[in-house]
Chain A
Amino acid sequence: MISSIRVLAREEFGIVQLKVIIPHQNETGTRKDEHGVIIPAYFVREGSVTLNGAPLLDIELGPSVSKDPFLQFRFPGKKGDALKVAFLDSRNELFASETVVQ
């Protein structure tokens, strides 16, 4: 099962600004619910970005990233470049998306 993520990539003056939003509750594992029971940790752990098939970024995230992680990166590129973005959470669920730089 592959869940979807929102990826936006816009080029301006030769620099691509990449925005990634992963819909994920990102539980730290230290929070308690109303009955005082600890909510188990559940968060996005790893990610990778490739540009035209070449690796661009390897990302590792800890549990202290906010709910619905919103990440931004910048790199040189041009309109029409193919981007692949993939993330994996602590339950090994894959979040992936492919997009084209605009």
Chain B
Amino acid sequence: MKRRQFIATGAVCSAYFLSMSPERLFGAWKAKDFQQCTIEQAFMAALGTRMPVSSEKITIVAPPIAEDSSVVPVQVISSLKSEVLYLFAEKNVTPLVFKCTLQGNVLPWFSLNIKMKDSSTLYAVVKSDGIFFMTSVHVEIVAQAC
């Protein structure tokens, strides 16, 4: 390949990658939501309420006993009409783990691997028509990894 050709291809490639960047700018991430605090403070900061309403229409699928605290698989399923899904881990330094805002007709379901500092309770919170609902599950950590 000639040098000139190489430069031309490079320019085309970088133009392609630039056009790939998301149309909407990032910047939704708020340090206030993800601060190091207690679970109540995290609820207050992220939701504006101390204790959301308990609901049986939200399910957390997580192992009751986790072998590896650095990789705990968690699934959250909601049968409520959901706008925003949250996942909190009570004893983590930063209790808010994950937040996702659903648009279009995404199903209120997600799965991810999380780190847990200690055996503690996981809270899944769903915002439905402006009201927060939650459910919780306890996860026991056997081996400490982090």
B contact face: mostly helix, strand, loop, or mixed: loop
**CA gap between A32 and B85 in the complex, in Å:** 31
Within 8 A of B (CB), among A26-68: 28, 30-31, 45-46, 48, 50-51, 53-67
Decide if B29 touches A66 in the complex (CB within 8 Å).
no
**CA gap between A42 and B17 in the complex, in Å:** 24
Within 8 A of A (CB), among B18-35: 20-24, 26-30, 33-34
How many residues on B have C-beta within 8 angstroms of the other chain's C-beta atoms? 42
Please give the distance in Å from B36's CB to the nearest CB on chain A: 8
Tell me whether A74 is interfacial, beta carbon within 8 Å. Answer: yes
Could you say which residues of chain B place their CB within 8 Å of the CB of A71?
110-112
Please give the distance in Å from A11's CB to the nearest CB on chain B: 13
Tell me whether A7 is interfacial, beta carbon within 8 Å. Answer: no
The 3 A-B residue pairs with the shortest CB-CB distance in the complex, in nearest-first order:
A66-B113, A58-B101, A72-B111
Query: What is B's interface to A at a CB cutoff of 8 Å?
Result: 17, 20-24, 26-30, 33-34, 70-72, 89, 92-94, 96-107, 109-117, 146
A-B residue pairs in contact (CB < 8 Å), sample of 25: A15-B107, A28-B115, A53-B23, A55-B103, A58-B28, A58-B103, A60-B28, A60-B29, A60-B30, A60-B33, A61-B98, A62-B94, A62-B98, A63-B34, A63-B93, A64-B92, A64-B114, A64-B115, A65-B114, A66-B70, A66-B72, A66-B114, A71-B110, A72-B111, A75-B106
